[in-house]
Chain A
Amino acid sequence: MRNTVPIMKREFSSYFNAPIAFVYLTVFLGLSSWLYLKGFFLVNEASMRSFFSLIPWIFLFFVPAITMRLWAEEKKVGTLELLMTLPVTDTEAVLGKFLASFIFLVVSLALTFVLPLMVGILGDPDPGQIVGGYLGCVLIGAAYLSIGLFISSLTENQIVAFIVSVVAIFVLYILGADFVLFGIPDWLVPVFSFAGLGGHFDSISRGVIDSRDLIYYFSVIGLFLYLNVKVIEARR
């Protein structure tokens, strides 16, 4: 696992080598704060709930934009050949890339800490809900990242990676939504409602940290990282 670190460092710094990172961060912060604050003063309630319910939808576009490049570009430029002939295992490479994008995501979430501070000054929010909300964002973000990274490894076209990731994440997100559950046979309902990314997020962001939800997110992340390793192996 030693070589995960240099790969992670390289990937993370390459976000900042081009101005892309700053564009992403500006758009993410601007969009999320504006959409939240737009309703905040109208509702006149010291709560971050509406903020956290926005995040899965913003991440739906933000996360594929972070991950689309990670494998697709290496394949297109041919640097994959250089990387995979260095003494690096496939797992190290996948983890390095995942961690780099994860840190970038955590940084972007950390920049929104201004909002809870502001809410704390203006009123008396529920700290448990804010902690739970951020935990939920980190978990659902990481799950999205693992899906986006996996899809990026399937193509050498970044745009294709982006679009397919958005669609795949959207489908997985709404699996557990009510209007989907109404339309399927009864025996499938528990399967769908457990498999959907959204339901687990809702319960965590209410401040209810249930081990089933944690296990769910860790399994999704583990599954897609594993599939990613298999795809990288399959080139041989």
Chain B
Amino acid sequence: MISVRNLSKSFGSTVAVNNISFEVSKGEVVGFLGPNGAGKTTTMRILTCYLEPDYGTATVAGFDVFEDSLEVRKRVGYLPESAPLYTDMDVVSYLRFVADIRGIPRDLIGGRLRRMVETCGLASVVGRNIGELSKGYRQRVGLAQTLIHDPEILVLDEPTTGLDPSQIIEIRELIKKIGRERTVILSTHILPEVEATCSRVLIINEGLIVASGTPEELNATAGGEDLIHVSIRGGDAVAEGAGLQDTGTQDSGVKAALSSLAGITSVEKTSEAAGGYSKYIVKVGNGADVAETIFRLAVERGWTINELKRETLSLEDIFLKLTTREVGQ
């Protein structure tokens, strides 16, 4: 659907996009992830024909962004960052204007408008001036504007910035819904957003693609570690041996037993919890599922467990690792 080869773009002496190449196939939801100023917006502006590349080629839906710019623009819906809109127009006349330019036949425009109002939840603001709308509603009008001509490809630049948490969830749900039938590229610097909406991630930093893959793949390649939070009371184990009465020795017993399990790289005691429970953080090597073995061990030794929680240190770490390393160079 989208194919980018050796794309470069500079502004003066600043290189915004440096020789990047990637492909996006039909039906994918791809997230551009990167710190501010990484080149996400520039890449999107090239794909939507707002800017022309200095070097390299980009084809969207089979058309070159430079040679067949109008054909590309007909097939793409684009929501620029912060959703700029004509604030002096009301919602319906704005959408009608876009529909008009998009060449939607006059007799279909009414139906499309109704569908957009429904999909994007605009019913309560239909007659209002765009200038009076809250950020969340403007964002929705922006989305409605990108969807009105039923585009094959959507390009959304930071679609959730400036929204409150419940609006963010709504917009993400909307993007997911849209993404079932269409190809979507979205950019963000918010990590959970990528995990929540994207099937593939491109991490961009300083104009380069530093990593690409599904969130799980990225996790695996970067050797993401899992943490297990476990809270144990060494009840019977304590009673069995006379020398194990004080908690210090009890802890070292539990710690030693946990450390000896396969797949565990380190065990660390964090705090003494109420009721004789001690909390431990167990670091687990790549991929191993040790929650079950810990449970079996506890049963065997007669320990009581009142917390056993797994935490994946994921994209966030990979992101920081990749982007700070680049910065450090």
Contacts and interface: CB of A to CB of B under 8 A. Distances in A.
Interface of A: 2-3, 6-7, 9-10, 13-14, 17-18, 77-79, 81-82, 84-89, 235-236
Given A77-B84, A82-B80, A6 B50 contact: no
Interface stretch (B70-78, B184-192, B319-327): B70-78
Given A85-B73, A87-B73, A14 B84 contact: no
B89 A86 contact: no
B101 A86 contact: yes
Interface of B: 45, 48-52, 70, 73-74, 76, 78, 80, 82, 84-89, 93, 97-98, 100-103, 145
Nearest to A3: B101
B101 A236 contact: no
Contact of B85 (A82, A84, A85): A82
Contacts of B103: 2, 87
Given A3-B101, A10-B97, A87-B103, A81 B50 contact: yes
27 contacts: A2-B103, A3-B101, A6-B97, A6-B101, A10-B86, A10-B89, A10-B97, A14-B88, A77-B86, A78-B80, A79-B84, A79-B85, A81-B45, A82-B78, A84-B50, A85-B48, A85-B50, A85-B73, A85-B76, A86-B73, A86-B102, A87-B73, A87-B74, A87-B103, A88-B101, A89-B70, A235-B51
Contacts of B48: 85
Contacts of B78: 82, 85
Nearest to B90: A17
B187 to A, nearest CB: 14
A13 B88 CA distance: 10
Contact of B52 (A6, A9, A89, A236): A236
Contacts of A6: 97, 100-101
A3 B103 CA distance: 9
Contacts of B97: 6, 9-10
Given A84-B49, A236-B52, 13 more contacts: A9-B97, A10-B89, A77-B84, A79-B85, A81-B50, A84-B50, A85-B73, A85-B78, A86-B102, A87-B73, A87-B103, A235-B50, A236-B50
